[in-house]
């Protein structure tokens, strides 16, 4: 890629430079050369005519002045010796100018002398033909050499610049390739520098975000496998013990205990599979939010402490919600509240706030240390450090709530409640009108 980019940029630069030079020659240099050649042709004709009209005694002095001031020489036409060969481009323009001045087309004849190359033209005067010579030192410009030097220098600069740009672009891509290879091997890549051109910096930011997500997924996978293996050992050990006892003393209580352990294992595996697959987005359905929350409160009040529903007067009306996902998320939060705040009041509150809605689960339990709130959303992390089912669940409840929120565009937060306890809030931002005849 670097080589292709270098050649492409260098070729483009040469094409642009040739175009600029061509335009400069056609519209600037060529008109100036024609004007200069016309002036010089006029001077040569005037010099020949003036020499012919001067007295013979003053002609040598005139020739010396002409040579010193204008690098022009005069001599009889029959004394001119030269070759009709190729000469610089300007002298062809001078030939055309002399033809317009004299009415006769003649080629300049070149002659090499110790003082340099001279170009001679025969000009008719009133007293006969006269050769007028022009030294090549009078025309000091070398446009072809200048063009060649400019092209070579421009090509070198373009190649160096193109190589620098190509490496500047391809280096981040090389780092990206190496980092992608490390991800493919299952190792965590080092983050890429978010510098360089805007597009490359944006690509690096995207890749860094993806790399962090991959690391989180790998960590979650390891945590899930470790947590499942740990939490399955206890019921499996109890079932193995129950089977050994049932060999000699079958009892209904042991069978019921095994069924309970199987149900726990089945629920744990289902929760792990939900997290492993990732919870999907659910299509929202227009629902009366207060009635929806009262239904949930009735279901959970039957299995624990009473749930009090408190929605602001006149609110919230009809809202678009993902019913099953929201019921599951609220249910997990209510289960935690009933488990850790047993016997205490649990409030289920709701409000509509521009431009969305909020649902809160408020309890008066022991709460959570603010420094551990974020950790509690990780799989298999529990408020109770023990792994006993009697004092807590599997530690997947909050992780599932966050996955549900992520899939449906909600935000879940936990914070300490004034006066003691915990507040759990689910907040949704409604981007379109999901209310019936009501403005938020």
Residue 59 has pLDDT above 70, yes or no: yes
Predicted TM-score (pTM) of the model is 0.48
Whether residue 112 contacts residue 97, with contact meaning beta carbons closer than 8 Å, is answered with no
How far apart are the two ends of the chain, measured CA to CA in Å?
55
Residue 140's pLDDT is: 66
Number of domains composing the chain: 3
Q: Are 262 and 385 part of one and the same domain?
A: no
Q: How confident is the model at residue 9 (pLDDT cuts 50, 70, 90)?
A: confident
Nearest residue to 319 via CA among 278, 369, 354 = 354
434 inside domain: no
153 inside domain: no
Share of the chain above pLDDT 70, in %: 80
Q: Are 130 and 256 part of one and the same domain?
A: no
Q: Are 262 and 355 part of one and the same domain?
A: no
Q: Are 100 and 14 part of one and the same domain?
A: yes
Residue 382 has pLDDT above 90, yes or no: no
Please say which residue of 104, 122, 145 terminates a domain.
145
Domain harbouring 402, CATH code: 3.30.565.10
Q: Are 368 and 271 part of one and the same domain?
A: no
Q: Are 290 and 254 part of one and the same domain?
A: no
Q: Are 386 and 254 part of one and the same domain?
A: no
Q: How confident is the model at residue 372 (pLDDT cuts 50, 70, 90)?
A: confident
Please say which residue of 145, 177, 194 terminates a domain.
145
- Please state which of the ranges 39-53, 141-155, 219-233, 397-411 shows the lowest mean pLDDT: 219-233
Give the mean pLDDT of 18-24: 81
Q: Are 6 and 124 part of one and the same domain?
A: yes
Give the mean pLDDT of 142-148: 72
Can you name the residues that pair with 117 across neighbouring β-strands?
112
Residue 58's pLDDT is: 92
Q: Are 402 and 348 part of one and the same domain?
A: yes
Q: How far apart are CA 292 and CA 303, in angstroms?
A: 18
Please say which residue of 277, 308, 338 terminates a domain.
277
Q: How confident is the model at residue 387 (pLDDT cuts 50, 70, 90)?
A: very low
In which domain, by residue range, is 103 found? 2-145
* Cβ neighbours of 222 (radius 10 Å): 10
Residue 25's pLDDT is: 79
Q: How far apart are CA 156 and CA 17, in angstroms?
A: 13
Residue 156's pLDDT is: 81
Domain harbouring 83, CATH code: 3.30.450.300
* Cβ neighbours of 119 (radius 10 Å): 22
- Tokens 């009809």 appear where? 318
Q: Are 236 and 297 part of one and the same domain?
A: no
């Amino acid at each position: 890629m670097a080589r292709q980019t270098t050649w492409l940029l260098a070729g483009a630069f040469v094409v642009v430079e040739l175009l600029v030079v061509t335009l400069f020659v056609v519209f600037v240099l060529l008109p100036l050369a024609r004007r200069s050649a016309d002036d010089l042709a006029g001077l040569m004709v005037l010099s020949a005519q003036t020499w012919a009209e001067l007295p013979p005694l003053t002609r040598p002095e005139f020739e010396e002045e002409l040579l010193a001031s204008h690098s022009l020489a005069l001599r009889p036409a029959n004394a001119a010796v030269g070759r009709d060969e190729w000469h610089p481009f300007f002298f062809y323009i001078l030939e055309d100018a002399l033809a317009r001045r004299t009415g006769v087309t003649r080629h300049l004849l070149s002659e090499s002398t110790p003082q340099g190359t001279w170009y001679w033209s025969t000009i008719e005067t009133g007293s006969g033909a006269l050769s007028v010579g022009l030294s090549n030192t009078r025309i000091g410009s070398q446009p072809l050499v200048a063009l060649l030097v400019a092209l070579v220098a421009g090509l070198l600069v373009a190649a160096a610049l193109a190589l620098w740009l190509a490496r500047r672009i391809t280096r981040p891509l090389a780092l990206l390739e190496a980092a992608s290879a490390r991800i493919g091997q299952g190792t965590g890549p080092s983050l890429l520098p978010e510098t360089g051109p805007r597009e490359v910096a944006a690509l690096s930011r995207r890749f860094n975000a993806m790399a962090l997500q991959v690391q989180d997924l790998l960590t979650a996978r390891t945590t899930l496998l470790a947590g499942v293996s740990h939490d399955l050992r206890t019921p499996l050990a109890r079932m193995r013990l129950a089977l050994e006892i049932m060999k000699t003393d079958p009892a209904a209580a042991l069978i019921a205990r095994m069924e309970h352990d199987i149900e726990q294992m089945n629920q744990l595996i289902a929760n792990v599979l939900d997290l492993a697959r990732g919870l999907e987005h659910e299509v929202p359905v227009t629902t009366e939010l207060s009635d929806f929350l009262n239904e949930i409160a009735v279901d959970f009040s039957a299995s624990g402490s009473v749930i009090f529903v408190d929605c602001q007067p006149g609110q919230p009306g009809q809202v678009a919600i993902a019913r099953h996902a929201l019921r599951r998320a609220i249910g997990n939060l209510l289960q935690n509240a009933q488990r850790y705040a047993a016997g205490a009041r649990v409030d289920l509150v709701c409000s509509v706030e521009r431009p969305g809605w909020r649902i809160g689960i408020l309890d008066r339990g022991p709460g959570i240390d603010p420094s551990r709130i974020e950790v509690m959303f990780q799989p298999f992390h529990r408020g109770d450090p023990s792994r006993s089912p009697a004092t807590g669940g599997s530690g997947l409840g909050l992780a599932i709530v966050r996955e549900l929120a992520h899939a449906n565009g909600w935000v879940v937060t936990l914070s300490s409640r004034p006066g003691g306890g915990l507040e759990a809030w689910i907040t949704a931002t409604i981007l379109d009108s999901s209310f019936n005849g009501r403005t938020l």
